[in-house]
Amino acid sequence: MKKLVVILVVLLLSKNNFAMEVTPYGTIINHTTWNQLLIKHVSDQGKVDYLGFKKDLIELNAYLDWLSKSKPSETWSKDQLMAFWINAYNALTIKLIVDRYPISSIKDIYSPWNIKVITIANKTLSLNNIEHDILRKMGDPRIHFGIVCASISCPKLQNEAFNTQNTNRLLNKASKEFLADSTKNELTTDAAELSKIFKWFAKDFKQEGSLIDFLNKFADIRIASNATISFKDYNWGLNE
């Protein structure tokens, strides 16, 4: 009965809060605050208004506080876990920048990905911990286009929060948009000049075939299996 009441409450609340959901064991997952911040401060092109985030620091900190009190576990679905950790990574990256803004690059911060930024379920985590120890181990290379490193050459930050209902759609959207952006990847039938993301995480993109097999799932053109592959310089300027 208690579980039923929780579910009914969540359904009523979620009419205007699409990012709120409930696990099979009645745990409420609520990314609504993060969703509202993204809508407000991220353009459709993925440009981030860091000053706007700074002005809404109370709301950002409230969302991070909720993350820190959450206890993601094996009782959550894969999509619930993936959405939670992608949102956490992106919100914590924004917080890292906002706390030091104005800066011109995330690399102006010493070893930014190794700073311990949050404690969740009694584990103190860095961005590297979230990316390499949690998200990459889920076995879905599309996560590399869902998480954002606050830089021009990164995939764009989506201006809606991830949740169970939209995770697959948003990851597909992010993958297609990234490959279609010629400033980040230039693709022809016989050549691919790629983002260094494909070099740094090459193993992730070869789990179900070759790198070109992966590219052809999301590219607008068909790339030949013997196409020449090279890599672009990476622009670490802030994505604002």
Q: Within a domain: residue 122?
A: yes
- Residue 21 is predicted with a pLDDT of 85
- Residue 171 is predicted with a pLDDT of 99
Q: How far apart are CA 84 and CA 29, in angstroms?
A: 8
**Residue 125, both tokens:** 């985590």
Task: Tell me if 98 sits within 8 A of 57, measured CB to CB.
Answer: yes
Same domain? 135 vs 169:
yes
Q: How far apart are CA 228 and CA 231, in angstroms?
A: 10
Same domain? 228 vs 113:
no
Same domain? 169 vs 191:
no
- Residue 121 is predicted with a pLDDT of 95
- Listed residue (53, 19, 28, 58) closest to 38, CA to CA: 53
Structural domain boundaries enclosing 230: 182-234
Same domain? 154 vs 186:
no
Which amino acid appears at position 181 of this protein? D
- Residue 20 is predicted with a pLDDT of 73
Same domain? 116 vs 207:
no
**Domain end point (choices 162, 179, 196):** 179
Whether pTM exceeds 0.85: yes
- Residues 165-187 pLDDT 10s: 999 999 999 999 999 999 999 99
Segments of the chain scoring below 70 in pLDDT: 1-19
Same domain? 158 vs 188:
no
Same domain? 163 vs 187:
no
- Residue 19 is predicted with a pLDDT of 58
Same domain? 174 vs 202:
no
Same domain? 134 vs 227:
no
